[in-house]
Chains A and B, each alone.
Chain A
Amino acid sequence: MSSFPAVLRSEWTKIRTVASTTWTLVAALVVTVGVSAGLCAVFNATFNDMPKEQQVTFDPTLASFAGMTLGQLAMIVFGVLVVGTEYSSGMIRTSLAAVPRRGSFLAGKLIVATGLALVVGLVTSFLSFFLGQAILGDRSIGIDEPNVLRAVIGAGLYMAMIALFSMGVATILRSSMLSLGILMPFFFLVSTILGAVSATRKVAQYFPDQAGSKIMQVVPGAMDSGEAPYGPWGGFGIMALWVLAAVLGGYLVLRKRDA
């Protein structure tokens, strides 16, 4: 029953006074924008060597977010550390003594951190888009074309959701190391590999990142992504369900377990 704005202020102070916030968010932005720009340059240079069907389905919007596969890892670290350092430092006991309502505490923390991740995500997605289009030159697309703005804003939302999912997982596991040890290989290897093999794609397309990333796509089936049984918002909805499950799980663990 602590006043909720007070909890939000406190969580904002927490997040802005640790060094990890700055470096993880800067890394998410720089890596996404930088790698996307680099890949756009590569696409541009090798466009004529691409297989025919890839040329036809080339999606300049999605191409300008190609670096997000790497950049999202920094977002995962951000999300994990926001929650995990409470546990690794022992601060969680002090925090819960100050804000004993578990729901208020968790909501305050997740709202502040997700809000910040969303701002950084949107800055990243717009920068990434415009820089990518500038590099793609003749093959670029304008932001006023159908569905493009949705994809650019969607890319920012995707980054915020990845961060929130990581926060949920870290609240369940109550450890930064364990959470990173599971999330990093999952998003960087497992999901990518299973999504690339046609036999396992049917399952992998329901993973949070694979489903969620559909929102950044303008041309269906671009970049060998195959046909999905859901649209961009449907995919984002699937991701949202994963996030909801992680956050709910985290809340239940926080409520049940001793701090």
Chain B
Amino acid sequence: MIELEGLTKRFGAKTAVDHLSFQVRPGVVTGFLGPNGAGKSTTMRMMLDLDNPTSGTVRIDGKHYRDLPEPLKHIGALLDAKAMNGGRSAYNNLLCLAQSNRIPERRVAEVLDLVGLTPVAKKKSKGFSLGMGQRLGIASALLGDPEILMFDEPVNGLDPEGILWIRNLMKGLAAEGRTIFVSSHLMSEMALTADHLIVIGQGKLLADMSMADFIHENSRSYVRLRSPQQERLKDVLHEAGIDAISVPATGALEIDGVAAERLGELAAQHQIVLHELSPQRASLEEAFMRMTADSVEYHAHAPGAPGLPAGPGAADNPVRPADVPAWGAGYEATRKGGE
């Protein structure tokens, strides 16, 4: 269990992490999502006590990281594949870490075997490809057989086989009851691995919900209609009690929650010519981009706008911009309804 409370990091005038409070629970893979520069890595470094928070606390199993007697036995982390001495062999790099936390030496060979690096164990790690470096980093995270594992962008630089491997590894580790916290800037990757999602943008918490809820709320499906007789089509839809949203940019109508078949039959009954009748599904990637783009917009155009929650409470109530675009409004409505 990892608990963050009001975690804040400022670099000069820039706030990289802004009053983050959330918990990472055991037994599930928690995805930590945000665009580049959202503050994911800074947050993870503060979790490991590498960066000093400006304010707020992180607790690992109820303790501050610095008070863990042998931290590698509690929490293993892959932060940066290159965070090893390249002049040292893979085996020796792991051996120094093992010894510092009184982990038996045989465990080094075990984890090297687990990540498939046994054949290059005695090779200097500076000759490693990015993928091999990533595997070495994962081996170091697994060294102390910790209950909590933290991976910062673990699939970076891995080939498809490697990506599949790490995905299954994380799921397997979570199934053993461990706490898995994994960051990514790719929603599509998270959708395949994470059970729970924490989304941040500009250092602020935007969402903390299960993957299922996120999909339910964000994978909006709708039907797009285009017709040369759009006004008449609108009237017909209105009479049938169907709400249609006009999208001026494409000259199309978008309809939520009504089957394409029904709309086609309705148009045929009234002899309306259709140029397009297509079911659409917004991808999770889009939903995520929309969510985080909002946060960027909010910060760019309305710094410290009155009426919006700020300060410690802000982290508990993810800040949403007041003026969201049509699509976002739908998201907001469902989100509020779901709460």
Q: Using CB atoms and an 8 Å cutoff, list the residues of chain A in contact with chain B.
A: 1-3, 6-7, 9-11, 13-14, 17-20, 85-86, 89-101, 256, 258-259
Contact = CB atoms under 8 A, between A and B. Distances in A.
Interface residues of B, number: 35
Given A13-B96, A13-B99, A98-B72, A90 B51 contact: no
**SS class, residues of chain B in contact with chain A:** loop
Contacts of B93: 91
A7 B88 CA distance: 18
Q: Which residue, of A18, A92, A98, has the highest number of chain B Cβ atoms within 10 A?
A: A98
Interface of B: 45, 48-52, 65-72, 77, 79-80, 82-89, 92-93, 95-97, 99-102, 140
Contacts of A3: 69-70, 102
A7 B70 CA distance: 11
**SS class, residues of chain A in contact with chain B:** helix
A85 B126 CA distance: 13
Given A1-B69, A20-B87, 16 more contacts: A2-B69, A2-B100, A2-B101, A10-B99, A10-B100, A17-B88, A17-B95, A18-B85, A18-B88, A89-B87, A93-B48, A95-B96, A98-B97, A100-B48, A100-B68, A258-B50
B80 A90 contact: yes
A18 B125 CA distance: 12
Q: Which residue, of A20, A86, A100, has the highest number of chain B Cβ atoms within 10 A?
A: A100
A100 B74 CA distance: 13
A6 B101 CA distance: 7
B102 A6 contact: yes
A259 B49 CA distance: 9
B84 A89 contact: yes
A89 B128 CA distance: 14
Given A2-B69, A97-B48, A258-B51, A89 B85 contact: yes
Given A2-B69, A2-B101, A3-B102, A10 B82 contact: no
B286 to A, nearest CB: 34
B97 A10 contact: yes
Contact of B96 (A1, A14, A100, A258): A14
8 contacts: A3-B70, A6-B101, A6-B102, A10-B97, A18-B85, A18-B88, A96-B49, A97-B49
Contacts of A86: 85
Nearest to B77: A97
Among all A-B residue pairs, the 9 with the closest Cβ atoms: A10-B100, A258-B51, A17-B92, A10-B99, A90-B83, A259-B50, A89-B85, A9-B99, A94-B83
A89 B136 CA distance: 14
A195 B332 CA distance: 75
B84 A94 contact: yes
Contacts of A258: 45, 50-52
A86 to B, nearest CB: 8
Contacts of B96: 10-11, 13-14, 17, 95
B39 to A, nearest CB: 14
A18 to B, nearest CB: 5
A91 to B, nearest CB: 5
Given A13-B92, A20-B87, A89-B82, A100 B65 contact: yes
